[in-house]
Structures are given as structure tokens and as C-alpha cells.
Chains A and B, each alone.
With several copies, the nearest count.
Chain A
Amino acid sequence: MDVLYFAWVRERIGIPREAVETQAGTVMDLVEELRGKEERYAAAFADISALRVAVDQQLTDFDASLSGAREVAFFPPMTGG
């Protein structure tokens, strides 16, 4: 599964994207796995209320299923316009 990071999430983790081998059932399960990897992940995911998530380029919630998902992206609230 491709995991993408944008804005300060990307900066904090240090990479824009990575391939992750996971059996995580939901976005939250994936977050828990990532938190356990390294301190910079734990820091980036410390407060998920400050984060947004998209699964296969659709905005969704942290309890969304990852069944069949190919791409998950984490980022701060958007500031377009």
C-alpha cells in the first residue's frame, strides 16, 4: 500500500511517500502501526484531530476500512483558495 504525506506531516516524517506492507483493517490500525515504527512517526501522528486522511484520493475518517485500498494519504486540514 502506498502511504503519502503532505505539508508538515511530510516534513515531520521526512519523506513524501513510502510503500508499506500492512494488514491493517482500518486507517486507525495503520496509524497505530506507523506510530510504532519510529519517533518521527509517533510525533507526526501524536494528535490525529490535527490530521485529515484520504483513502484512494477520497477524504474519509480514521475509522474507514482499508479493504482493497491502494493509496492512503495523511495531511493537515486543507488551506486552499
Chain B
Amino acid sequence: MRVVVQEAPFDFGVEAAAFAEGRAVSGAVVTFTGIVRDVDGGLQAMEIEHYPGMTESALTDIAAEAKTRWSLEDALVIHRHGRLEVGEMIMMVATAARHRKDAFEAAEFLMDYLKSRAPFWKREVTADGADWVAARDEDEDALTRW
């Protein structure tokens, strides 16, 4: 289980391949990648603030919780902070399990918790200025599934 919080870009292909490589026990690997998306054509950048120290421990707790709930062989979380341009990768999670259902559900669980329980705050920078992204009710509601 690995949790990484960093400002620098990460190499999704290299991370995904290394995670999936040579797993003779796990038959299923799921990855999720979040990318800075230009919602209305006016986004210049995304700025991500975080809470150093708490971020790492919150992500570690979330990954550990996933391992208690599903039969997971391994999990990986990488999340960036700082300024990101449109098209850049914000974060990724990866899960490895014997069965695809565990790998899928654990990855969705990690995403749902990470959205609303890890101390990151996004700010969208447009030509009109910069605005904090509001938490969406549906992200909070997503937690009730688990």
C-alpha cells in the first residue's frame, strides 16, 4: 500500500504499469485517474491547496479502511497539489484484487472518500479571477453507499 502527495507531476503510465506488473495472485487491477477538465472553456488552471501532514494520514487511513472492507492485495493513491494546467493529471488510485468486483468497488470507495474526506481544496482560475470549487452534495451523498 502506497500513498504519495506531491506537487510534481507523476507518470500515470509508469505508475499504472509498475502497479499491475507481475501480479500472480491478483487477477484484477483497476485504476482511476482524475484530469483537470476545462468545464466551460474558460479554465486557465486549477490550484490545489492541501493540509500537509493530515493529507498523508487521511489518505493512508482511507486506503487502510478499503483493505479492511474488500479483499485487496494492494492499493496506491497519488495526489498532487499546487498549480495544474488543463489536461494535467490531478491524482490516481489503483487497486489490485483477486476478483474484479473487489477491485472496482474498492477503487470507487477510495475515490468517494478521497473527494470528501481528504484535506484538499480546489480553486479554479479563469479570466474572471479565481474561485474555490464548492463541495457537491452528490459527493457527500456518495459516501452513504459504503
Contact A7 B132 (CB under 8 A): yes
Interface centre among A58, A78, A79, A81 (most CB of B within 10 A): A81
Contact A54 B115 (CB under 8 A): no
**Least CB separation from A77: chain B residue:** B135
Contact A6 B114 (CB under 8 A): no
Task: Give the A-B pair count, Cβ closer than 8 A.
Answer: 71
Task: Report Cα–Cα, A49/B121, bound state, in Å.
Answer: 17
Contact A76 B117 (CB under 8 A): no
User: Residues of B contacting A78 with CB < 8 Å?
Assistant: 115-121, 135
Categorize the interface residue count of chain A. 10 to 19
CB distance from B46 to the nearest CB of A (A): 10
CB distance from A59 to the nearest CB of B (A): 7
* Binary per-residue interface labels of chain B (128-142) against chain A in the complex, 1 for a CB within 8 Å, 0 otherwise: 000011110001100
Categorize the interface residue count of chain B. 20 to 34
Task: Report Cα–Cα, A58/B135, bound state, in Å.
Answer: 19
Given contacts A78-B116, A81-B120, list 11 more A-B pairs with CB under 8 A: A6-B51, A6-B119, A54-B54, A57-B51, A57-B57, A73-B51, A80-B48, A80-B114, A80-B122, A81-B100, A81-B111
What are 19 residue pairs bridging A and B, where the CB atoms are less than 8 Å apart in the complex? Answer: A6-B119, A7-B132, A10-B49, A54-B51, A57-B57, A73-B54, A73-B119, A77-B116, A78-B119, A78-B121, A78-B135, A79-B121, A80-B114, A80-B115, A80-B120, A81-B90, A81-B91, A81-B100, A81-B111
Chain B contact residues, CB within 8 Å of chain A: 34, 48-49, 51, 53-54, 57-58, 79, 90-91, 100, 111, 114-123, 132-135, 139-140
